[in-house]
Amino acid sequence: MSEINEEKNTELENSENATPAAEETSGKEASAPGKAEKKSAKPEKKPAEIRNGNPAARGHKFNKRNFKHGTLAVVFTVLFLAAVVVLNVIVNIVSDRFDTTADLSDSGIYTLDEETTGYLDKLTMDVTVSVMNSETDFEGGGTYYKSVNELLKKMAMQNEHFKVQYLQIDQNPDFTSRFNGETLSTNYIVVESAETGRHRILTPGSYFSCNAFRSQLSQYGYPETYIDQYVEQYVNSSYASRVIDGSNIEQAAISAMLYVTNTDPVRVAFTEGFGEGDAGTLSSLLSKNGYDVETINLQSVSEIDSDIDYIVMYAPTMDYDNDNLDKLAKFLDNDGAFGKNLVFFSSSQVYYTKTDEDSTALVNLSAFLAEWGIQIGDSIIMQTNSNYTYGNMPFAHVLDIQDTDFAGNVYGNSLFTYDAYVRPVIQIWGEDKSKSSIEQKVLIKTYDGAYLQPLSELSNSSFDVNSAESGVFNDAICAYKIHSTSQEVSRVVAFGSEMFPTVSYSNSNNQNFLVNTFNYISGKTDGVTITSKTFETVGFDMNQGSANVLAIILCIVIPILVIVLGIVIWVRRRHR
In this predicted structure, the answer to whether residue 165 has a pLDDT above a threshold of 80 is yes
User: In the prediction, which pLDDT does 41 show?
Assistant: 52
User: In the prediction, which pLDDT does 493 show?
Assistant: 98
- Residue 433 · residue 426 · CB < 8 Å: no
The segment with the largest mean pLDDT, out of 56-70, 156-170, 355-369, 552-566, is: 156-170
User: What is the band of 98 on the pLDDT scale with cuts at 50, 70, 90?
Assistant: low
CA atoms of 353 and 427, how far apart (whole Å): 16
In this predicted structure, the answer to whether residue 26 has a pLDDT above a threshold of 50 is no
List pLDDT tens digits, range 299-344. 999 999 999 999 999 999 999 999 999 999 999 999 999 999 999 9
CA distances 558 to 410, 548, 562, Å, are 55, 14, 6
CA distances 473 to 383, 427, 448, 449, 465, Å, are 11, 10, 9, 10, 16
List pLDDT tens digits, range 206-243. 899 888 888 888 778 777 677 888 888 888 888 888 88
H or E stretch covering 237: none
Q: Which residues contact 523 (CB under 8 A, 6 or more apart)?
A: none
- 59: helix, strand or coil: helix
Q: What count of other Cβ atoms lies within 10 Å of the Cβ of residue 442?
A: 18
In this predicted structure, the answer to whether residue 129 has a pLDDT above a threshold of 80 is yes
Q: What count of other Cβ atoms lies within 10 Å of the Cβ of residue 546?
A: 10
List pLDDT tens digits, range 340-356. 999 999 999 999 998 76
- Give the residue-averaged pLDDT of 404-414: 87
CATH homologous superfamily of 99-266: Glutaredoxin (3.40.30.10)
- 19: helix, strand or coil: helix
Task: Give the residue extent of every domain in the chain.
Answer: 2-51, 99-266, 267-523, 544-571
- Give the residue-averaged pLDDT of 548-565: 87
Pick from 388-392, 474-478, 534-538: least confident: 534-538
Helices (H) and strands (E) in the chain, counts: 20, 22
Topology (CATH) of 267-523? Rossmann fold (3.40.50)
User: What is the band of 135 on the pLDDT scale with cuts at 50, 70, 90?
Assistant: very high
- Give the residue-averaged pLDDT of 143-154: 90
Q: Which of 129, 132, 150 is nearest to 204 (CA)?
A: 132
User: What is the band of 397 on the pLDDT scale with cuts at 50, 70, 90?
Assistant: very high
CA distances 382 to 379, 418, 453, 472, 508, Å, are 9, 13, 7, 11, 19
